[in-house]
Amino acid sequence: MIKDKEKKMEGYVQKLSGGNVKRYVQFLEISENEELVAEYRKWHSEGYSWQEVRDGIREVGILEMELYILGNKVVMIVDTPADFDWETAMARLATLPRQAEWEAFVSKFQGCSSEARSDEKWQMMERIFRLY
């Protein structure tokens, strides 16, 4: 357990974009079932996430995407170019290869309809503080 705590304390290295970016932060509660939480974590790890879905995320213009988890609470951070249009990109993402299949697959962890798109499940968060 100490290794996990040490890993969290080290922080995470970020890429610098070289220009202005938009940041979106979203929230989702998944199942409280520990086995499903473990499986959700597995399917989002580098060795298990679907390459077509990763490619689609980049194809719609997303520069960086991260998921953070605490228990059954998941936060997604998305960085995009400054001129990114969220609604247009999410509508396009929903049409890309394997995206609908992925959303149906992960719905069992998320407690939602297997037909729900990503942007119908995740709740956009509001920034209330920034350290300038």
Q: Which amino acid is at 95?
A: T
Q: Which amino acid is at 56?
A: G
Confidence class for position 31, pLDDT limits 50, 70, 90: very high
**pLDDT, tens digit, 9 for 90 and up, residues 63-119:** 999 999 999 999 999 999 999 999 999 999 999 989 999 999 999 999 888 888 888
Sign of the torsion formed by the C-alpha atoms of 10, 4, 29 and 57? positive
H or E element at residue 37: helix 34-43
- 19 near 80, Cβ under 8 Å? no
- The reported pTM is 0.87
> In angstroms, rounded to a whole number, what is the distance separating the alpha carbons of residues 37 and 69?
9
